[in-house]
Each structure stands twice: as structure tokens, then as C-alpha cells.
Structure 1
Amino acid sequence: MRKKQLILLLSSIAIAMTTLAQNPIERVEPPFWWVGMNNPNLQLLIYGKDISKARVTVNNPNVELLGVEKVENQNYLFLNLAVKKDAKPGMVKIEFDFPKGKQFIYSYELKPRQEGSANRKGFDNTDVVYLVYPDRFSNGDPTNDEVDGYPDKLDRKDPYARHGGDIKGIENHLDYFKQLGVTALWLNPVLENNQPAWSYHGYAITDFYKVDPRLGSNDSYRSFVAKAHENGLKVIKDMVFNHCGSQHWWMKDVPMKSWFNLYPDYKRTNYRIPTTFDPHASVADSSIMANGWFDGHMPDLNQRNPYLANYLIQNSIWWIEFAGLDGIRMDTHPYCDKHFMSRWCDAVKNEYPNFSIVGETWVNYPSWVAYWQKDAPNRDGYNSNLEIVMDFPLMIALQKAFDEKDGWDTGLARIYEILAHDFLYPNPNKLFIFADNHDIGRFQPDSSMALGRLKLAMAFLLTTRGIPQIYYGTEILLPGDKSKGGDGDIRRDFPGGWANDNKSAFTSEGRTKRQNEIWNYMSTILSWRKTASAIHNGKLTHFIPENGVYVYFRHNEEQVVMVILHNGYQPKVLDTSRFAEFLSNKSYGTDIITGKRLDDLSKIQLSPRSAMIIEIK
């Protein structure tokens, strides 16, 4: 009897040793999860050689295996789990039984959630967002400039190569953002882009669960977010669901053909976003818009595939929970399947009711942007569930308004007319407003351009309705002309971000007189704006521009602010009788830019090409 027991014991040990030596699982995504999520359902992607041949069981009283789904590639399995409310943090044993008696046990971790995680507050009208290009801002860790296995190497002389900026570099300058007065940081994508070239921009993701090692690591990203929070700064993650990089690990062993659109052949999108809502659009045009590839090295993801849809939703929630994010900016939002995107927004808000998502809605007219905002009265019944949309029409108006003479529909009238379209939006205060960004070109392409133009634009941007965004370097006149130098030129290195830079624009001593003038100008407005309730939640009332002057008021029960934009090249005295509905019972005002008190509000002296932001008392 003892001999038989000994043989059985030795046989069991041999099987266990064989199993441990031959781990069949190469990837599990999400790599871990949390207990206490509002949605108990979790779908695991399991990848490994012939993994679909295994029979799967889960022996845990608080985690139920709802089903095992096989797809056309036998190297993938999708496990549907239910994490019950009573589940505790710890390891969940998932058993894989293979033919011929082979067995493998995988330990999947469920983590505890941070207290208050579900109630995190996103970004809103009290915030000003600063857009940072990680590779071009500051090199805080030179040891990760080049990493084995990543062919796209560093070359600061090449505007389309990597320059070495990283997460640590941004973290090292949190005090700079605080001094400037911004309250939230939007980083262009930080996930792995292991592409042979042009990987610096971050939009060709090759691993949705991994920070690019040339920028840092998952842990360093999470640490950066925590330190940003300690400094009163929110963090917005740039996400991409429309496409991935051509070198994504999926491409080496595709889960199923329907994981991608137009695969294995491809055709570029027609970039005609209106076909997604045009009632007269042909199927041919609308389908190539949604299913065409954004670029030949960016395979188009098919969000109608239910497995990929779950994957992307869980990926968002995973990063919010793991890194402690305050918001998401979704790239190329209308290029994804719009019904999936509505479901995605709803799923995120289901877990985080106060979280903020802004979608890139790059279209030319307010009516087109309004289609994408949550609760828009669309005739086709579509509801995006996307609360914040990007106001590209206002950006287009800003790019032209200060370079033209005022006419019926030119100059400052361009801004007035865009704002007059706000009746189209369910919530015009939930518009993401900007003068420039990493795609469209810098507002001031030449640092020698007149400061008045930029001052007018920044004064407007920081006092009108919506959530303002500033592109890195605007505050120091960082040049860049897309029409001449392309995208690489408008994504220049921030001076002082590298150890061998001659000057550092992070300090007043390292900035020129002109740079300090615009930096101080913007910082003054930004500092005041933090407590300006009328700017945060007040009503906007504007007056038709006349003679090169545009006047509007932001007002609530607590505060009245008068903004004057003077686009003329000569001094002027403004007769304010036209604005009696706001000024008739007021005694004086204070220009927050200069600190000057105005005791006579009946007539206001205007300097050429200047703005005034006046608190009325």
C-alpha cells in the first residue's frame, strides 16, 4: 500500500514540475483587476500556444466563471467572470486542464480599490488644461533614452525622431505648472509605440497595458499622477481606440479577422466625419469613413467586435483605477464606431459618475460638433453620452480673427458668430476650447510676431465659456510653423528641458524680456481665474463687435466681469453707455491684468491691440 501511495505521490510531483516548467500562458489582459467595481463582470483575454484546447475551471466562492469563449485563433481564450460583491482582495486560482492530463494553475490577482475611487472628480470649467508633448518637454531620465528592442532611436536634430523627453522630465517641473497657474495636465499618449520610425508621437500604440519604456514605466506613470495631485494638478490621459500600431503584438498573431476593419487588406479612411450623421450619406462613403485606416501603419480597430469592445472598455477603467486619473481625452473620437463609443462613455461613467471625458471632434461647424455632445437632439436618435467635445470651430475663428479688419463676418465678428451658435449645444459650458494644439499648428508660428495678437487670444480663451486648453510653449513664444516644417516643427523641444540646453525657459532668468512679458501676462490671468466664480459658472452675455472692439460680460450673483477686446491699432476711448444693463448701478472696476482701478466706467481708455478684464463693483 505504501509503495502504491509513494508511486502516486511521485507521479503527482512529476506532473506538477512539468506544468511549472511549461507555462502555456503568454499574456493575460487586463493583467489584474479590483474588487468592489460597480460592474461585476470581467472578461479576460488569455493568450498562449493552443490555449483554447484547455478546459478552464475557477474554484473561488466569490468569483464565478460565467463562460469560456473560443475564437477562430486557437491561441486565444476569453473568460467571462463575475466578481461578486463579497469578493475579497487576493489571488484567484484559474485552472487550465489540457489533453493528456496536463494541468496549469494561473493565479489572477484582485486588488483592493483606493478609498473614494469611484467618486473621483474630473476636470471642469474651474480648470485650465496644459497640453504636454512628453517626448519634447523635458528629459528627466537619460538612462531610458534608448532601450534594447526598440529600433526608433534618439536624434534631437531630426524633428520626427525621438528626442528623449519623458515622464520624469514632466514630473521634475510640476512647480513650473503651478507657478504658471494651470490646473490640469493633458499628456499626449504615453503607451508603448514600438514602431520602427515616428514613434515619438505616441498614437501608434503597440501595447495598451504598458507605458513606453523610453518614457518611463507603469509605476513611474502612476507615481507621476500621485505627485501631480499632491501639487494640486489633475492628469488627463490621451487614449486611442480607433487604431493601434502596425507592430502591436496582436499583429503577429491576430485573434480573429474581425478584430480589425478591412483586414488583411486595407484602405484609408476618407476623413469625412459628416458621413457619420449626414442623412443623405451613401453606405459606401460612411462605411469607408468608419472602417478605413487612419494611416497605413495604424490598423483600424473594429469596435463592433464584442471581444475588442469589452477589451477597450476594460482598458480605460483599468488605467483610471491603476493610475488614479482625473480625465480622458479620446483621440479621433468620431472615427470609431459611434454606437460603441456611446456605450464606452456610459460604461466609464457607470464606474466613475464624476469623471470627465473629452472627445476629439475635429469638424468645422458648430452644428457638426454639437452632434457629438451628450443629449443633443439628433434627428437620428443618436446620443453619444460624451459630455465634453472639442470646439474646433472656435479655434478656426481665433486663428483668423485677430489678423483681419472687422467686418460683417470677419475679424472679431468671427468669434461673436461662433458663440451665437451655442444654442445648438446641450451644454456650451462643456466645450473644450483652445487656440492651438499638437495637430493644427501654433497660434504664434513665429516668436517675433506682435504680442498683442497672442494677448488678445489668451485673454479671450481664459474668460469665455468652456474649458480652456493651452499648448505647451505658448507661454514662452515657442515657435513652430506647420505650413513650413510640418508636425515636427510645431512639436519642438521646450528650452531647458535637456541638460545641455543653453538656456532654460523654466525660469524668469532664462527667458527673454518678451517671453517674460507674455508669461507674466498669462500667469496673472491664470492666477486670478482660479477664484473667479463668474468665469467658472457665470452666464455669458456679449455685444456685437463694433469698430474693432468686442465686449462681453461673465456674471453670476457673486461677480460681474467685463472683458474688452480691442483689435484696433490706434488708442481709443470706449463709450460704455451701450452696456448700461451691466454698468448702470456700478461704481468702479479693477483691471485684473494691470491692477489699475477705474473710477469712471462711463468712458474707458483702450490701448492698441489690447485686452482688459475688469471686475465690476
Structure 2
Amino acid sequence: MGFRRVSDIDFDRLTGDRAFHPSPPAWEDEVLYFLMLDRFADGDDTTPLLTEADRDSAWRTAESKQQWQRAGTEWAGGTLAGLRGRLGYLSRLGVTAVWISPILKQAPRTNSYHGYATQNFLEVDPHFGRADELRDLVAEAHGRGIRVILDVVLNHAGDVFAYEEGDVRWDGRTHAVAGFRDADRAPTLPFGPVDPAAGPDAAVWPAELQNPGTFTAKGPISNWDWHPEYLEGDFEGLKDIALGSGPADGYRPSPALRALTRVYQYWIAFADLDGFRVDTVKHMDPGAARYFASAVHEFAQSLGKENFYLIAEITGSREFAYRTLEQVGMDAALGLADVQDQMEWLVKGFRDPREYFGLFRDSLQLGKDSHTWFRNRVVTAFDDHDQVRKGTSKARFAADDLGRKLGVAAIAFNAATLGIPCLYYGSEQGLDGSGPSDRYLREAMFGGEFGAFRSRGAHCFDENSRTYAQVSRILALRRRLPALRRGRQYLRPISGDGVNFGYPQLFGGEMRSVLAWSRLFAGAEVVAAINTDPDHPRTAWVTIDVDLQPAGGKLTCLFSTDPGQEGSQLPIEPRNGKAVEVTVPAAGFVVYG
């Protein structure tokens, strides 16, 4: 066992004369890639590449299907060393920041492969590797131009104690505790300071978290939107930590919050991390989140990390999320169901595009004088690891035929619109998990017993696949064009006849159309468009900026999913102000400038 107490850490020795990796000047320039570490890469170079014959191979009998499904609830075998071995794959794809699911030591004898059930906040879980492997991973990632963001949990620990009553629920009362769990998961230890002789798998560590009052002990949440239940209750078996009390401006952090803040400062310095994704911010007191954000930002700045990024998971309405973000002082919001839901169904042709673009046009309602405020305050995505918004009908974007055809268009739309784009691992290979629970969204890319596409024993790191190749080209374009990263954003009216213009809209409940938008930056306009028709190219007149574009000028195709279009030019004509006639390949993406 390493450190037992936070107070054992010598921060002066840890930071010393070291030179730390600087923060990026602008996070909107980055492309994030979120991966479940247990499901990404295991470091086995002998595993064969998945073929068409491997797809659905684990579902050929009822027995093998059950075995595959059961494997999805257990540890699969992904490691830090495995991820390190795939950094080249990510770099060639165009990823510039990898967001890793929690890696700290989990409650023993549980299948908490996801990492959100921490038992020891001062150690890396042995399933994932060792602490020095985390440090080596980060160092190599930095050498490849990739920053590392670690998923961290403050709100709760794992199932480290048991209640005396068998089935408790939150009712506002503190419930009696039987004791901390020992190494065999039995609640035989006192609910207080524990003798280190009980071993590293017992109770909770660091020892500061064993003090009385660390846990709210009010039972699991039943109503996830009821105040104060969602602040005080457990996440099922995951035990809620009492972080402090008082209003945000005069918050009194608990000893537990102070200890955890110091723990995560330790991991910043130890591994040279670049940011945190902070789990379940909605379920923390605003004052607790503000205390953590302030302390982490200041510590990181003392190491020369002037823009250490804190991405807050804030579920709920957009207005609630942005108010919370501003109140707590974190840098960007994640987990906005309306962004994810709107993006997915817009690209699939079942949402009015004005609804999605409207999410980024209402900055004045948030007290911001320009909607470019959103460019580095929102992490945008269309797939994730739990899809809370979908209840018990989970499905990746590519789970249906329409999603498989439009996968490149979805990634292009994510990369070329406002916000910090985030790819969920495997999207670049068209992973298609679907089912009634989270496990089906968390396929093992490296194969194993829970391989992607309902297979086993075959990996999916195919750099020759069409989707991977197109995404690599799209992300390279994003690096070249500042407007796609930082520019103001406008949904553009279109026309089929060049006379009657309007925004794309649904007909008969769907939209099979060119969807075009402009990004304006430093006096230049870039026009981008996707085609939501998966089977046919579409042509439309697209309105462009009347002041920036010269009369009689031309726009040049800078990118197309059909490379034969690249370099071609479109004459600017006086239609609806000014417009160009754009053709977009089936399920494709084009950019003109």
C-alpha cells in the first residue's frame, strides 16, 4: 500500500524543480476522445483485426450470446499500458486530448470496471496498471501532442460501508451504519478510523475519509430531481460524501472535501495531467464545486498550467447547466442531454435544425454578448457511455442502418460546429452497441470476451476503414482552418430553385436535405454542409454572407467526402443577397472557402 494519508504526501518534493507540460492556449482548438479504459486496449499485439466474418459471431447460439452479454458486466481487461500502445492510432486520427474514465482503485470484489466506485483515492486500480504507468502514458501522450484529461469523482465513494437496515432509501434521515466493509466485503470494521492492518482492500482511503461525518449516510436517491435528495443521497450502492455546508459565497468545506481536493492536486503533479472531467457536479453543493475548482486552478497555475481545464458533468436543462457552470467556476459543461439528443437526431434527419443551432444563439439570455462564448464552454458529442436520456433503450449512433450510413456526417457536424468536439471511443469505427443497459454501449475495442459487433477475440483498430480515414481528413481540416474551431456560427437558408429560400425543415416527420452553416472568423467565411440523405447526393443554393463575399467571386471546395470535388469552384450569385449552389455527396460533408 502506498500513501495512507494525504498528509503523508511531500508536495515540495513532488513538484520540486520539475518542468510541467503547459496548457493549450485555447481548448476550443482541441479534439477530445472519451474512452472507457477497461474497454479500449489491453496491449495484446497478437489479437487479429476484426473481419466481416467475425461480426455477430458471439451470438450464433443462445449459450454464446449469454456468455457475451455476461462478459459485458465484468472487467474486460483494458489497461493504461494498452492505451499507451494505441496513442499512435489516436494521433493519426487527429485526437489532441484523451479523456480517460476513472482509474483509481475500486471497491474490491465488485465489477466496477467503469471506475466510478472508488475505494482508495491514492492508488491506481491494479486492473488498469500502476501509478508509474499512468505517468509514462501521459509523458508519451504529451510527446505526441495529445493532452490527458482524467475523469474524477468527488461526490461519492464506492460501496465502502453497509447500513444496518437491509433496504434503505432517502427520506431525509441519517441511517444507522453497520460498519466499514472489510476485505471480504463484510461490514465488520468500525465506522471510524480503521487499523491499517485491516489491509488496503478494507474501508476507504485515504485515512482522512474514515473520520466521522465523512458520509451523509442517508440512503440511495429515488427522485433524481428532488432537492435536497439529489444532493444528499447515495447513487445506489455508491456512498455520498458530505462535502460541506453553506451558501456558495460562504461555503465551509468539510475535511473530506479538503482531503479529496488535495488528493487530486497530487495526481495533477504526479502525472502531469492537463484537465479533469468532474463527475456528477449537479449532485454537489455549488459551494463545494466552487471550492474544488478554485483550489485546483490555483494549484495547476502554480505548476505553470495556466489553463488547466475542468469539464463539469451537469445534467439537466441548458439554462441550469450554464448557470451552474458560471456559479462554480469550472470551464466547460458536459452532459447536456439537449445537445446530444439534438445533434444525433438532427444529423439523422428527424429534428428541425433551428432547434440545435438555437442552443448556441441564446447567449444574451445567459448574460453573454456573443454566442462565441459557447466555443469553449460546451463539450459537444452525440454518443456517450450511459445515455441517461434514452432510459432502457440505449443505442450508439451507428446502431441502425441510418446511423451506419451517416456516421461520418455526424462526426463532421460535431467537429465543424461550435463547442469542443468529443468523440466517444469506437465512433470512428462505427461501433454499433445497443441494448437495455449501459454495458451495450461499452464494447471492448480490443476484442476479448466482450468484443465489438457482438464478437470475441478480434480488435477494431482499423486505420484503413472508410470512417477512420474520412474522420482523420476532417480533423486535419479542422486544424488547418481556425474558423471551424473559433468562428461565429450561422445556420444558412437554402433553396432548391434559387428563388425561394428558407431554413431546412422536416417534411412528413423527416428531413433529407443539404444542411449548411457558416463559420465567420477574422473577416473570412467558411461554408460547411452535410447531407442528411444517406443514399443520394443533394444540391441546394446556400445563402452566404453578403458583406464578406465579393460580387462575381467564387468559393473553392476545401474538403469533400468525395475528394473529386476538392479544388472545384462555385460562382457567387446575387440570390437571397448572395448564394452559391452546393452539391453534397450522399451522407457526405463539404467545406467551401
Q: TM-score by structure 1 length?
A: 0.70
3-state DSSP of counterpart to 1:176: helix
CA, structure 1 residues 577+233, in 2 after alignment: closer, same or farther (shift >3 Å)? closer
What is the correspondence of 1:141-156 to structure 2 with a 5 Å cutoff?
Answer: none
Q: Tell me the secondary structure at the aligned position of residue 71 of structure 2.
A: coil
User: What are the ranges of 5 or more consecutive residues in structure 2 without an aligned counterpart?
Assistant: 46-66, 162-178, 182-188, 193-209, 245-252, 388-393, 494-502, 506-512, 573-579
Q: 1:487 aligns with which of 407, 431, 438?
A: 438
CA gap of 1:123–1:203, structure 2 versus 1, over 3 A, is farther
Q: 1:323-362 counterparts in 2 under 5 A?
A: 323-351=271-299, 352=301, 353-362=306-315
Residue in 2 aligned with 1:388? 332
Number of the residue aligned with 2:320: 368
Q: Is the 8 A contact 1:442 1:480 kept in 2?
A: yes
Q: Is the 8 A contact 2:104 2:120 kept in 1?
A: yes
Distance 2:349 2:522 in 1: 36
- Please give the per-residue CA displacement for 1:485-511, whole angstroms capped at 9, x wherever unaligned: 4111110110457999654432346xx
The answer to whether the 8 Å contact 2:531/2:588 transfers is yes
Map 1:184-583 onto structure 2 (within 5 A).
184-247=97-160, 252=189, 253-254=191-192, 255-261=210-216, 263=217, 265-268=218-221, 270-272=223-225, 285-295=226-236, 297-304=237-244, 306-351=254-299, 352=301, 353-363=306-316, 365-374=317-326, 383-390=327-334, 391-404=336-349, 410-425=351-366, 426=368, 427-429=373-375, 430-440=377-387, 441-446=394-399, 448-481=401-434, 484-495=435-446, 503-508=458-463, 516-543=465-492, 545-546=503-504, 548-557=513-522, 559-568=524-533, 570-577=536-543, 579-583=545-549
CA–CA distance in structure 2, aligned partners of residues 326 and 396 of structure 1: 28
SS at match of 2:118: coil
Q: Is the 1:184–1:233 Cα contact (8 Å) retained in structure 2? A: yes
Q: Contact 1:345 / 1:386 at 8 angstroms: preserved in 2?
A: yes
3-state SS, counterpart of residue 597 of structure 1? coil
- How far, CA to CA, are the matches of 2:103 and 2:442 in structure 1? 15
Aligned-pair CA distance for 1:608: 5.8
- 2: CA distance, partners of 1:503 / 1:558: 49
Q: Aligned equivalents of 2:274 and 2:142: distance in 1?
A: 10
- Match of 1:592, SS state, is strand
Q: CA deviation at 1:123?
A: 6.7
Kindly indicate whether the alpha-carbon contact (under 8 Å) linking 1:573 and 1:604 is maintained by their aligned counterparts in 2.
Answer: yes
Task: Tell whether the 8 Å contact from 2:343 to 2:356 is kept in structure 1 after alignment.
Answer: yes
Give distance in 1, aligned partners of 2:146 and 2:134.
14
Question: What CA distance in whole angstroms lies between the structure 1 residues aligned with 2:467 and 2:295?
Answer: 42
CA distance in 2, matches of 1:502, 1:349: 43
Query: d(CA) in 2 for partners of 1:155 and 1:196?
Result: 21
Change (3 A) 1:29 1:385: same
Q: How far does residue 609 in structure 1 lie from its aligned partner after superposition?
A: 4.5
Say if 1:27 and 1:123 are closer, same or farther in 2 by CA, change over 3 A: farther
Q: Tell me the CA shift for residue 167 of structure 1.
A: 0.7
Amino acid at match of 2:356: I
Q: Specify the code of the residue in structure 1 equivalent to 2:324.
A: W
Q: Report Cα offsets for 1:534-572 as digits up to 9, x if no partner.
A: 122222222353253332111222753111133246544
**Mapped contact 2:155–2:284 kept (Cα < 8 A):** yes
Q: Count matched residues.
A: 471
1:598 to 568, 578, 592: 568
Q: Check the 8 A contact 1:330/1:357 in 2, yes or no.
A: yes
Bigger shift: 365-374 or 162-171? 365-374
Higher Cα radius of gyration: 1
Q: Which moved more, 1:425-434 or 1:591-600?
A: 591-600
- Residue pair 2:558, 2:591 contacting (<8 A) in 1 also: yes
Q: Deviations over 1:45-73 (max 9, x none)?
A: xxxxxxxxxxxxxxxxxxxxxxxxxxxxx
TM, length-normalised to structure 2: 0.73
After TM superposition, the structure 1 stretch with the greater mean CA deviation from structure 2, 569-578 or 460-469, is 569-578
The residue that corresponds to 1:49 in the other structure is none
Q: Which residue of 1 aligns with 2:587?
A: 610
Matched AA of 1:258: G
The sequence identity of aligned pairs, in percent, is 21
Q: Contact between 1:534 and 1:558, CA under 8 Å: does it hold in 2? A: no
Asked whether 1:589 is paired with 2:556, we answer yes
Cα distance between partner residues in 2 of 1:232 and 1:577: 37
Deviation track 1:193-220 (CA, whole Å, cap 9, x = no partner) reads 1343321111000100100011101111
Shift of 1:449: 4.0
Q: How far apart, in 2, do the equivalents of 1:163 and 1:258 lie?
A: 36
Deviation at 1:230, TM superposition (A): 1.1
